[in-house]
Amino acid sequence: MPDVAIEQRRGSIRTVSKWLGPGRLWLLLAGLVIAGTLANDVFLTSRNLTNVMRQSIVLGIVAVGQTLVVLIRGIDISVAATIAMANTTLMGIVAGESQRLPAGIAVALAAGLIVGLTNGIATVAAKVPPFIVTLGTASIVTGITFLYTDQTSFGKPAPEMNALGFAAIGPFPVLFFAYLGIAIIALVIQNRTIFGRHLFAIGGSESIARLSGVPTRRVQLIAYAACGLLAAMAGVAMSMRMGAGEPLSGVGFDWDSVAAVVVGGTALTGGQGGVAGTVLGVAVISILNNVMNLMAISSFAQIVVKGAIVVLAVLLSALSVRWAATSDRRTARLRIIGEAEAGGPT
């Protein structure tokens, strides 16, 4: 039956997009690159592309963490605060001394993990909506950061940090590989581990997952903890290029990371999408920012464009869900008619 062939083709498309992201995003990305090239001579130079990669590192790392949380129908808006905390903590501890670097990184990451665990415990145990929980932790973490730094530039990097931050292999920044490495690990966890399966199951329906024997609380806790840890990693990566710890360095990464996840095709209702799409979403947003900068579009107008892109992405994903539902109904109906003609379901 032709039905089976179509189904198999769709099956392989699903497998591909699980690892490489949805095809429509690749099209969008290609369109953006062409538009950028046409709009500005500088865009396609290796120097500018290096720049784009550099700018996508921090956003990319946070967005990978955000994806894990959004997949289970959660959201973490404390990531911006965690980035700033990791950044200032690291700078404060290192204070220009190279030998304190490992300790600084360890403490910064531990702090991020603790924020993530707090988010997880509060959402899982107390069943408070994640938006409220993370709004609260964001405020707490920001407050602590301000107390610690007195809201001024703080601490000092070790020389190795800047060296690493500016290092590049050819046109590729070294930290960009770190980001890609993190994304690939997350992708493998998402697609090839039981934990990954459980993320999608919980996002689909927490109660069904629970009745099926999925340890829903543990999975949710780990997802939030990982998100906090990744936000701290983003903060550490950011520190590599900065001259000091900035208490406001995380501003904007909360919504930008959610935007990247949504543009990347992960539904805010959970259970669909994944890390591959998010990586593409980050690329789309970074290139868009870059092109608008090159074209000297006012930063206020850029905010408008960014918002419009997010709305458009949500709209598109809602529409594609509806189209899919229509086609499902059609195939189900055809099946019923076929069965009736064949004298009963087979």
* Amino acid, single-letter form, for residue 293: N
Q: How many residues bind another protein (CB under 8 A)?
A: 37
- Contact between 71 and 203 (Cβ < 8 Å): yes
Which residue from 194, 311, 315, 318 is in contact with another protein, where contact means CB under 8 A? 194
Give me 11's structure tokens: 């099956």
Residue nearer to another protein on the CB measure, 170 or 345:
345
The interaxial angle of helices 79-94 and 101-126, nearest 10 deg, is 150
- Contact between 113 and 225 (Cβ < 8 Å): yes
**Shortest Å distance, C-beta 324 to another protein:** 8
Residue nearer to another protein on the CB measure, 139 or 192:
192
Which residue from 1, 2, 4, 169 is in contact with another protein, where contact means CB under 8 A? 4
Residue nearer to another protein on the CB measure, 305 or 337:
337
What are residue 169's DSSP bridge partners? Answer: 172
**Shortest Å distance, C-beta 277 to another protein:** 14
Unique residue bearing structure tokens 């903060």? 235
- Contact between 285 and 58 (Cβ < 8 Å): no
Question: Which of these ranges, 68-76, 155-163, 197-205, 276-284, lies near another protein under the rule CB under 8 A?
Answer: 197-205
Q: Which x/- pattern over 14-43 shows residues binding another protein (rule: CB under 8 A)?
A: x-----------------------------
Question: Which of these ranges, 59-67, 96-104, 237-245, 337-345, lies near another protein under the rule CB under 8 A?
Answer: 337-345
Which residue from 30, 31, 129, 192 is in contact with another protein, where contact means CB under 8 A? 192
SS3 state at 153: coil
**Shortest Å distance, C-beta 310 to another protein:** 22
Question: Which of these ranges, 59-67, 119-127, 145-153, 194-202, lies near another protein under the rule CB under 8 A?
Answer: 194-202
Asked if residue 196 binds another protein (CB under 8 A), the reply is yes
* Amino acid, single-letter form, for residue 97: E
Question: Distance between CA 132 and CA 127 in Å, rounded?
Answer: 11
- Contact between 251 and 268 (Cβ < 8 Å): no
CA trace torsion 76, 105, 61, 53 (10° rounding):
150
Question: Distance between CA 109 and CA 151 in Å, rounded?
Answer: 21
- Contact between 129 and 66 (Cβ < 8 Å): no
Question: Which of these ranges, 37-45, 101-109, 172-180, 204-212, lies near another protein under the rule CB under 8 A?
Answer: 204-212
Per CB under 8 A, which of residues 240..299 are in contact with another protein? 271-272
Per CB under 8 A, which of residues 317..336 are in contact with another protein? 328, 330-333, 335-336
Q: Largest alpha-carbon pair distance within the chain?
A: 81
Residue ranges in contact with another protein by CB under 8 A: 4, 7-8, 11, 14, 192-194, 196-198, 200-201, 204-205, 208-215, 271-272, 328, 330-333, 335-337, 340, 344-346
